[in-house]
Amino acid sequence: QVQLGQSGGGLVQAGGSLRLSCAASGRTFSSYAMGWFRQAPGKEREFVATITWITGDTYYADSVRGRFTISRDNAKNTVYLRMNSLKPEDTAVYYCAATDFRVLSILSSRYNYWGQGTQVTVSS
């Protein structure tokens, strides 16, 4: 089992920045990559970004590429999502997730473990 604990988030004005953190514990060695997803009210959960633990390879959704940065600190078993130039449409509950699937994936079904979610609200 892998446990994921999220922190960060909150309310910010459009154009502002926030950083989300996701600390992994438990059987972290079984995890290949971490991802961030988000879900806005009335919408399906959507992929945001993903990163591999070992090589640091990353992939982003088109909607956030160039504004968001995913990173990891292997010593702390923690993944971060730095969000810059935030827009009202970025408002959602953000979830971190872990996968042992050996390929970077944007599919939520590939992720085995999920954090509790954290609210990000961007005001216009």
Going by their DSSP bridges, the two strands 58-60 and 92-99 should be labelled as: unpaired
What residues form DSSP beta bridges with 33? Answer: 52, 99
CA 55 from chain centre, in angstroms, equals 17
Distance CA 57, CA 70 (A): 10
Give 66-105 pLDDT, tens digit per residue: 999 999 999 999 999 999 999 999 999 999 999 998 888 9
Give 9-37 pLDDT, tens digit per residue: 999 999 999 999 999 998 777 778 999 99
Note the pLDDT of residue 39. Answer: 98
